[in-house]
Amino acid sequence: MTMPEPSIRVAVDPTNPGQFFACCGLLELADRLWPGAEGWFAEGGREFRIASKGTLGILADKLRAAGIQGALTPILQAERAVLDSEKRLLKKDRKKLPEAKEKRRKELGKLYREGSLILPTPFNLLLDWWRSEDDSIPKTWAGSQAVIRIALASHDGCTRLLTHANPFQEYLVMRPAAAPDDEDDDVESGDKVEPFYFDAQRGTNALARDIGFVPDALQIETHASPVVEFLTLVGVQRGRPRPTNKPREFEYFTWSQRTSAVVLPAAVVGALGDCKEVRYRFRNAFRTGQEKHKAFMPAIPILTGESS
């Protein structure tokens, strides 16, 4: 039986964890559009290929049309808006919300910032991997950051840049695709959105100690790869990196066999028995002095038989 030729090809740097997991996310989305899609690494791990019934252009169009939904339903959004409005009015008179209402307002704010996301039809995908407190979860952001806000901005950029010749290398200033509508004092504000810091190129170049100053403090607008940021958020839902015996250190494997999305968990941790697989190790390192925010660092290839 003749295997179908790849309909999607994307250049990838396998030492960039963000680009690797973006490939996993791309396969996940392709499989949900065209069940049975298969993905694999070729050209020494420098190209990711997907054999499916569709193209990258169709996938981008479907992703744009689907949008992305946060954890707050319209009813909960309305409830939160009322509580926020009431708090603002009381604040003008130097008064506070009743304790029960303030507690509820904070609960809704937490759900808005940290809650799960949904890619609706035709993807029908729930994203919630970051909600676990397990140390094996490679989360990069702090609780004060709104996941939905970053996801909306990266989703918007991803759908615009995904069909470019080298989408993982396309950078722009990420901006909110919709108003964040968040009144909490500790939530980021401004006309730009910081990425998740999955892209190792961004993580390496964004450390304040390396460049001599803090970009945010000077309100400098820096660029990010929305394609890598969004697709990694999708890819890690199913394809988790393997923790090592060191804190915040993980491993993943490229593979050369045609693999379906359902087998991604095994493929990512090197359980396919692929003789051409390559193991990579990276750190989810702290990027601020408070040790709250992290970033994926560039990975290094690990020789077969080398200890973890």
Which residue ranges make up each domain of the chain? Answer: 8-66+132-302
Tell me which residue of 272, 274, 267, 273 sits closest to 242, measured CA to CA: 267
Separation CA 298–CA 36 (nearest Å): 31
Query: How far from chain centre, in Å, is Cα 301?
Result: 23
Going by their DSSP bridges, the two strands 249-254 and 278-286 should be labelled as: antiparallel
Secondary structure of residue 152 in the 3-state scheme? helix
Q: Are 8 and 28 in contact (CB under 8 A)?
A: no
Q: How far is Cα 263 from Cα 240, in angstroms, rounded to an integer?
A: 12
pLDDT at 208: 44
| pLDDT, tens digit, 9 for 90 and up, residues 198-256 | 999 864 444 444 434 344 444 445 689 999 999 999 999 999 999 999 999 999 999 99
pLDDT digits (tens, 9 = 90+) for 69-125: 998 888 998 999 999 999 999 998 899 999 999 999 999 988 888 899 999 999 999
44, 259, 271, 273, 301 from 278: Cα distances, Å: 9, 15, 12, 11, 7
Confidence of residue 189 (pLDDT cuts 50, 70, 90): very low
* Token digits of residue 34: 């065209």
State phi, psi for 124 to the nearest 5 degrees.
Answer: 50, 55
209 torsion bin: left (phi>0), alpha (psi -120 to 50), beta (else) = alpha
Q: Which residues contact 178 (CB under 8 A, 6 or more apart)?
A: 152
Q: Which residues contact 213 (CB under 8 A, 6 or more apart)?
A: none
Predicted confidence (pLDDT) at residue 296 exceeds the cutoff of 50: yes
